Structure formats: structure tokens, C-alpha cells
């Protein structure tokens, strides 16, 4: 079997054809990025092609099914981005579409939260790309997504009551919302540069993607980790990920040994960097969009 990135690239290569409307092709890229992310292996603590990581209710088939279920929501957000020029109206339109997408996700998964954070991040980015036809620069797209994320949504719940929100309050961190409102700095300033530097160094694609994930894990205030393991676990994730990169990353034998040790440690702590995984999917999406724009 080829690398997992080869395994997942093929199904979508035939789908994103020029005949499909732009909004549909953007949704294709978003779904493909989510499937590439969950398939990437070996990820520490996370669901991947090998198994559940530190999760009892998530699996690779379920995450792939959830990702495909989100295609209509991403296509509708992209179409809204193309049609709506007034940003406040657009913000509330995609908020409503995102909540519908969350409901569709929960119906498809039997009530399990597989991609709530990904709907937020990729929904904003898909909408931003749709607003800038022919442009794909990650920094510009992320800045437009941030402008949307900073606008209020009168119809969003005042409080989600979710783990991420509770972790933000308990530990004084910004979480998914702040990451988007700041323009996805962990994507544009950490993951994307690491992904490209690894490729240029000749690392295999899977190793480059793992290094991009590790670059996010090394710095992110991941509320998935904080919710389960608090600041001690978050420090272990951040220090461990930085250690793998310092050992040469996933493309070097010493880095792979450090990655295996990190995975063992996170499984022992029973924590999973789900937020970093969402941002890896966002990174892979922007990487695809930039490649298409410059093709």
C-alpha cells in the first residue's frame, strides 16, 4: 500500500473537475483535507488509519463518513461567500449554515462530535476563498476569514456549553474562536511554513504533514487537551511535539523514535490534540487552494 496521502488523494482527484461549480470544488477540497487529516498516520493520540488513538467514540470510518456529510454545508458556505457582499449578513448566513452542518454531523454520527471545530475553521476559510475568486494566498484568505470571525452572530447561542468553551473560561485561553479571529496564526505562521520546508528538504509527504501537525501542537492552546488533562497535559503535548521536531521531525529516524515516545505518553495521559488536528486540516485545505490558484 502506498503512503496514506496517496491512498486518500486518489478518490478526490477525479471529483474536482473544472466542470463542477466553484463552490462545489471548494467543498471537495475541504472534505478531502478532512479525510487526508484523519488518514495521516501515525498521529499521536488522534484517530488515524491505524485506530482510535485516545478516543473511545471516534474511528477512521466514522470521521470519513462525518467529513463527507459536511460537503453540502461547505458548498453552501462557499456559495454564500460568492453571493453575499455584505460581511455582517454573510457572517450570520454561514453561522446558520454551520449550525445546520453540525446538526447533520450529529445525525450522521449518532450524536458524536467528530468535526465541530473543523466546521468552524474550514467553514470560515471556504467562505473567505469564495470571496476571492482566482486568489489563493493563504495569508489573504486567513485575514478575510478572521474579519468574518470577528463579526458577531446574533443567532449563535450565547454559550455553547461545550468542553472548549469551559476550558477557555477555566484556563484563560482563546480556543478555536480566538484562533480564527486572529487569522489562524498557527496555520499561516507554523504549519504551512513547516509543511513546505519539509517538502523542500525531501521528506515524504506524510512526514511533511506530520511535521506540520507537530508545529501546531508545539504551540497551540488546544482545548481538547486542556479539557481532559489540564495545563500539565498541554505542556506534555507542546514539549513533546517540539522535541520531535528538534530530533529532525517525522522524516528522520530519531524524530520517528521521539514521535513513538510522544504517542505512548499521550495515550498514557489519555489526551488527544484535536484542535491541532483541525488546524492541520485547515492547513491542507489552504495548501490545496494555493496550489490550484497557482496551477
Ligand X SMILES: CC(C)(COP(=O)(O)OP(=O)(O)OC[C@H]1O[C@@H](n2cnc3c(N)ncnc32)[C@H](O)[C@@H]1O)[C@@H](O)C(=O)NCCC(=O)NCCS
Ligand Y SMILES: Nc1ncnc2c1ncn2[C@@H]1O[C@H](COP(=O)(O)OP(=O)(O)OP(=O)(O)O)[C@@H](O)[C@H]1O
- Select from ligand Y, ligand X, none the partner in contact with residue 165, using the beta carbon and a kind-dependent cut-off of 5 to 8 Å: ligand X
- Select from ligand X, ligand Y, none the partner in contact with residue 179, using the beta carbon and a kind-dependent cut-off of 5 to 8 Å: ligand X
- Select from ligand Y, ligand X, none the partner in contact with residue 175, using the beta carbon and a kind-dependent cut-off of 5 to 8 Å: ligand X
Neighbours of 56 (CB within 10 A): 7
- Select from ligand Y, ligand X, none the partner in contact with residue 220, using the beta carbon and a kind-dependent cut-off of 5 to 8 Å: ligand X
Residue 220: CA atoms inside 13 Å, Cβ hemisphere, count? 35
With CB atoms as reference, the residue minimizing the distance to ligand Y is 274
- Select from ligand Y, ligand X, none the partner in contact with residue 273, using the beta carbon and a kind-dependent cut-off of 5 to 8 Å: none
For ligand Y, the closer CB: 79 or 119: 119
The residues binding ligand Y (CB under 6 A) are 37-38, 46-47, 53, 55, 57-58, 113-118, 163, 224, 227-228, 272, 274, 277-278
Site for ligand X, residues 255 to 284, rule: CB under 6 A: 274-275, 278-279
- DSSP letters spanning the chain: ---HHHHHHHHHHTTS-TTS-HHHHHHHHHHHHHHHHHH-SSPSSS-BTTB-TT-SS--HHHHHHHHHHTHHHHHHHHHHHHH---HHHHHHHHHHHHHHHHHHHHHHHTS--SSHHHHHHHHHHHHHHHTSTT---HHHHHHHHHHHHTS--TTS-S----HHHHHHHHHT--HHHHHHHTT-HIIIIIIHHHHHHHHHTT--HHHHHHHHHHHHHTT---HHHHHHHHHHHHHHHHHHHHHHHHTT-TTSHHHHHHHHHHHHHHHHHT---HHHHHHHHHHHHHHHHHHHHH-
Residue 162 binds ligand X, judged by CB under 6 A: yes
With CB atoms as reference, the residue minimizing the distance to ligand X is 164
For ligand Y, the closer CB: 22 or 265: 265
Count of residues that bind ligand X according to CB under 6 A:
31
Closest distance of CB 134 from ligand X, Å: 25
Question: Which of 28, 203, 221, 290 is the binder for ligand X (CB under 6 A)?
Answer: 221
Residue 150 binds ligand X, judged by CB under 6 A: no
Residue 163 binds ligand X, judged by CB under 6 A: yes
Give the footprint of ligand X on this chain (CB under 6 A). 94-95, 98-99, 102, 116-117, 119-120, 123, 153, 156-157, 160, 162-165, 175-177, 179, 220-224, 274-275, 278-279
Amino acid at each position: 500500500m502506498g503512503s496514506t496521502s496517496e491512498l486518500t488523494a486518489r478518490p478526490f482527484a477525479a471529483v474536482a473537475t473544472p466542470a463542477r461549480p466553484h463552490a462545489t470544488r471548494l467543498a471537495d477540497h475541504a472534505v478531502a483535507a478532512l479525510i487526508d487529516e484523519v488518514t495521516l498516520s501515525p498521529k499521536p493520540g488522534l484517530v488515524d488509519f491505524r485506530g482510535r488513538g485516545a478516543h473511545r467514540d471516534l474511528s477512521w470510518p466514522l470521521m470519513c463518513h462525518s467529513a463527507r456529510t459536511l460537503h453540502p454545508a461547505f458548498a453552501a458556505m462557499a456559495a454564500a461567500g460568492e453571493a453575499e457582499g455584505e460581511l455582517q449578513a454573510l457572517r450570520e448566513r454561514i453561522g446558520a449554515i454551520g449550525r445546520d452542518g453540525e446538526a447533520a454531523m450529529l445525525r450522521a454520527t449518532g450524536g458524536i462530535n467528530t468535526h465541530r471545530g473543523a466546521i468552524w475553521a474550514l467553514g470560515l476559510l471556504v467562505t473567505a476563498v469564495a470571496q476571492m475568486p482566482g486568489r489563493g494566498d493563504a495569508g489573504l484568505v486567513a485575514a478575510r476569514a478572521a474579519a468574518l470571525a470577528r463579526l458577531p452572530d446574533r443567532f449563535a447561542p450565547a454559550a455553547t456549553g461545550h468542553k472548549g468553551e469551559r476550558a477557555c473560561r477555566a484556563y484563560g485561553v482563546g480556543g478555536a474562536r480566538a484562533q480564527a479571529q486572529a487569522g489562524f496564526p498557527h496555520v499561516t505562521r507554523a504549519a504551512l511554513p513547516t509543511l513546505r520546508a519539509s517538502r523542500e528538504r525531501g521528506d515524504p509527504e506524510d512526514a511533511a504533514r506530520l511535521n506540520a501537525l507537530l508545529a501546531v501542537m508545539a504551540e497551540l492552546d488546544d482545548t481538547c487537551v486542556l479539557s481532559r488533562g489540564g495545563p500539565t497535559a498541554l505542556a506534555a503535548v507542546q514539549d513533546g511535539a517540539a522535541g520531535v521536531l528538534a530530533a529532525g521531525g517525522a522524516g528522520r529516524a530519531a524524530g520517528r523514535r521521539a514521535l513513538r515516545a510522544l504517542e505512548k505518553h499521550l495515550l498514557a495521559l489519555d489526551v488527544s490534540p484535536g484542535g491541532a488536528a483541525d488546524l492541520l486540516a485547515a492547513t491542507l485545505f489552504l495548501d490545496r487552494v494555493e496550489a490550484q490558484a497557482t496551477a
